[in-house]
């Protein structure tokens, strides 16, 4: 299942004639996005060099997005005419995360799916005594979908294995929201790995505590002017791959030895 939030964002701007420039976005999509998408879908390698190639394509495409918002904008439009609230630029990083992870074999082996909607976040009881399923939207998630029954009602439950919050930059408010999301998601599956991926960081380092419910934060640029750090992106890719591999690990727990957190 493909997760292409940037494609949907462009299509929404075309169909909704965003700021009366639907045709402008249509031309941009045909001239730039389609090539970026096709290259990423065709590439299936997972070696370090393949990840680095994806990063090069990502930065090249992101430069084009920045260009049409600054120098290459339509006639009569001011700089930054595409607002941050419209999520054109943030959706590029979200889609890049999908391209980065899509070919990990364990995704198919475990029959996981990509989604960003209605991730299982636990159960609750309504005032009427009915069981309610709690769900949470995240930017990118790998889930196992199963059919179940709650009372007499059939439901589909998307249990998360990995959840990722994706940000253009990470500030204090976003960090608090990410931690809250991690708490909710881990109510649905305590073993779920939750990550934050952001281009840049604006949170004081001393406020980023290892005790957070977020498993790890990956900041891929030193600042907004610097290049994307390819090794950090590769580290993130390996982290997700390792998190999925742990699902299949079988560790014998018996005395004498460590019983709560055994090591391989």
Residue 248 has pLDDT above 90, yes or no: no
**pLDDT band at residue 259, thresholds of 50, 70 and 90?**
confident
Whether 3 contacts 139, CB under 8 Å: no
Work out the number of other CB atoms within 10 angstroms of the CB of residue 123: 13
pTM surpassing 0.85? yes
Mean pLDDT of the chain: 93
**pLDDT band at residue 249, thresholds of 50, 70 and 90?**
confident
Instruction: Say what the pLDDT of residue 212 is.
Output: 95
For 136-186, the pLDDT digits (tens) are: 999 999 999 998 877 777 888 999 999 999 999 999 999 999 999 999 999
* Residue where the block lists tokens 């999925």: 244
Range scoring the smallest mean pLDDT among 59-73, 101-115, 123-137, 248-262: 248-262
Instruction: Say what the pLDDT of residue 251 is.
Output: 61
Instruction: Say what the pLDDT of residue 56 is.
Output: 98
Whether 198 contacts 168, CB under 8 Å: yes
Higher pLDDT, 241 or 252: 241
- How long a stretch of residues is the chain? 264
């Amino acid at each position: 299942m493909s997760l292409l939030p940037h494609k949907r964002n462009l299509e929404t701007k075309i169909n909704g004639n965003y700021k009366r420039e639907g045709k402008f976005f249509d031309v941009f999509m045909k001239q730039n996005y389609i090539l970026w998408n096709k290259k990423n879908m065709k590439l299936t390698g997972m070696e370090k060099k393949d990840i680095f190639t994806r990063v090069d394509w990502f930065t090249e495409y992101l430069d084009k997005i920045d260009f049409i918002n600054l120098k290459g904008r339509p006639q009569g439009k001011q700089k930054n005419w595409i607002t941050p609230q419209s999520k054109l630029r943030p959706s590029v990083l979200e889609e890049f995360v999908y391209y980065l992870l899509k070919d990990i074999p364990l995704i198919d082996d475990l029959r996981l799916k990509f989604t960003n909607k209605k991730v299982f976040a636990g159960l609750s009881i309504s005032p009427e005594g009915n069981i309610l399923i709690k769900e949470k939207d995240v930017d990118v998630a790998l889930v196992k979908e199963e059919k179940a029954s709650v009372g007499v009602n059939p439901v589909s439950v998307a249990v998360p294995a990995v959840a990722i919050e994706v940000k253009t930059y990470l500030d204090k408010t976003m960090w608090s929201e990410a931690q809250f999301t991690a708490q909710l998601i881990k109510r649905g599956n305590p073993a779920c790995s939750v990550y934050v991926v952001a281009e840049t960081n604006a949170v004081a380092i001393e406020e980023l505590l290892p005790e957070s419910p977020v498993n790890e934060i990956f900041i891929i640029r030193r600042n907004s002017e610097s290049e994307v750090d390819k090794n950090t992106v590769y580290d993130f890719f390996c982290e997700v791959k390792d998190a999925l591999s742990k699902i299949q690990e079988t560790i014998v727990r018996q005395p004498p030895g460590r019983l709560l957190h055994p090591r391989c």
